[in-house]
Amino acid sequence: MKYGKNYAESLKSYDRSKAYEAGEAVNIVLGNAKAKFDETVELHVRLGIDPRQADQQVRGVLVLPHGTGKTKKVLVIAKGERADAAAAAGADYVGAEEMIQKIQTENWFDFDVMITTPDMMGVVGRIGRLLGPKGLMPNPKSGTVTMDVARAVAEVKAGKVEYRLDKTAIIHCPIGKKSFGNEKILENFNALMDAIVKAKPAAAKGQYIKSISLASTMGPGVKVNYNKI
């Protein structure tokens, strides 16, 4: 397989077969983030569970200590006082049926997160087939269906991330930007790993965490010594 110059040079800078301590792994990843933009650092965790089993799901939300470095656009579907509270909390867009119609008729998706109140889920459900494939459907488990829309908006703006198992039993999640530096990235890493460990399903058998790796947007993955987690 042929790699670009920077990527090939990055592969030579460390031992790909070795699992590094978390702090050292972060240093390697940041050192190899050579793109001209502020690369995102991502955590990838492979778990020893079966994602096809309902009692072995791993999913949760967490406000990272230092956020993700990305400001997300938030759409809130609510009425009355809840709509006013959402706007005051910093929501980028607030509305009700008219916003649902805008999405339907204009194919408008200029937002990263949709938050709604339980009483509006019937309206939101009308466009579930549009929101679902894009990962935008509000869900109580992710805190995006709630009466406390102001708090939900504040958490998203503060850097809340959702972690969930995919079909291959891997969790992929951003934990910051290159510009954060080692210390902040490491604190975000530890916070997310703590959450994943605590979310271990009771039905999980054997080795829970199979492997951990860190990578920047354009850089190669670096293995992390998960025996120490």
Q: Which residues contact 80 (CB under 8 A, 6 or more apart)?
A: none
pTM of the model: 0.81
pLDDT beyond 80 at 229: no
Low-confidence winner among 10-14, 47-51, 72-76, 126-130 (lowest mean pLDDT) = 10-14
Quote the CA–CA distance of 220 and 10 in Å, as a whole number.
Answer: 7
pLDDT beyond 70 at 228: no
Partners of 223 in beta bridges: 213
**Model pLDDT, residue 6:** 74
**Model pLDDT, residue 1:** 59
pLDDT beyond 70 at 162: yes
**Model pLDDT, residue 2:** 58
**Model pLDDT, residue 153:** 96
End-to-end CA distance of the chain: 33
**Model pLDDT, residue 171:** 95
pLDDT digits (tens, 9 = 90+) for 68-124: 998 899 999 999 999 999 999 999 999 999 999 999 999 999 999 999 999 999 999
Q: What percent of the chain has pLDDT over 70?
A: 97
Q: Contact, 49 vs 58, CB < 8 A?
A: yes
